[in-house]
């Protein structure tokens, strides 16, 4: 892809990642590293368009919203601290033929949230769905 796509990926790294990290820390009341896996976003216009459209409500912004609710009391904060010490957000879409699928897991004390930014709403978590999945793991 071209310069425009590379600039959009740079914006994720330089603007989105620090902003969501700051918002997460403020929302939950403690530091919890949040990494947006930049390498998981190919230089594909459709994938980047979907990310640009959905990142607040279904991407890293969703993580902030859900973690704020989970960590609203000491019990939630302690459960999170006991299970993971880092969050990684990944895109699994590679192309229209390889859209990937959403998943959430805790591996090696890292919460890994994977979503498909290729225009498939069934491959993105909603607030209640993600919160229920996380609370089940905690």
More confident residue, 42 or 61: 61
Do β-strands 34-36 and 86-91 pair in parallel, antiparallel, or remain unpaired? parallel
Global confidence as pTM? 0.90
Residue 7 pLDDT grade (very low, low, confident, very high; cuts 50, 70, 90): confident
Contact 87, 34 (CB under 8 A): yes
Domain ranges of the chain: 3-137
Mean pLDDT computed over 77-105: 92
Strands (E), the chain: 34-36, 86-91, 103-107, 110-115
Quickly tell me which residue has 């192309």 as its tokens.
95
The 3-state DSSP composition of the chain as helix, strand, coil percent (nearest 5) reads: 55, 15, 30
pLDDT, averaged across the chain: 91
Is the pLDDT assigned to residue 99 strictly greater than 90?
no
């Amino acid at each position: 892809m071209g310069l425009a796509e590379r600039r959009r990926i740079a914006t994720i790294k330089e603007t989105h990642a620090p902003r969501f990290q700051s918002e997460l820390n403020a929302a939950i009341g403690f530091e919890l590293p949040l990494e947006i896996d930049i390498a998981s976003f190919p230089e594909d216009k459709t994938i980047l368009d979907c990310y640009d459209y959905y990142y607040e409500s279904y991407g890293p912004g969703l993580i902030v919203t859900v973690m704020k609710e989970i960590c609203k009391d000491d019990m939630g904060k302690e459960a999170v601290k006991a299970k993971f010490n880092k969050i990684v957000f990944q895109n699994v879409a590679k192309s229209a033929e390889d859209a990937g699928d959403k998943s959430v897991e805790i591996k090696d004390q890292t919460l890994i949230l994977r979503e498909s930014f290729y225009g498939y709403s069934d491959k993105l978590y909603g607030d209640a769905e993600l919160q229920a999945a996380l609370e089940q793991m905690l």
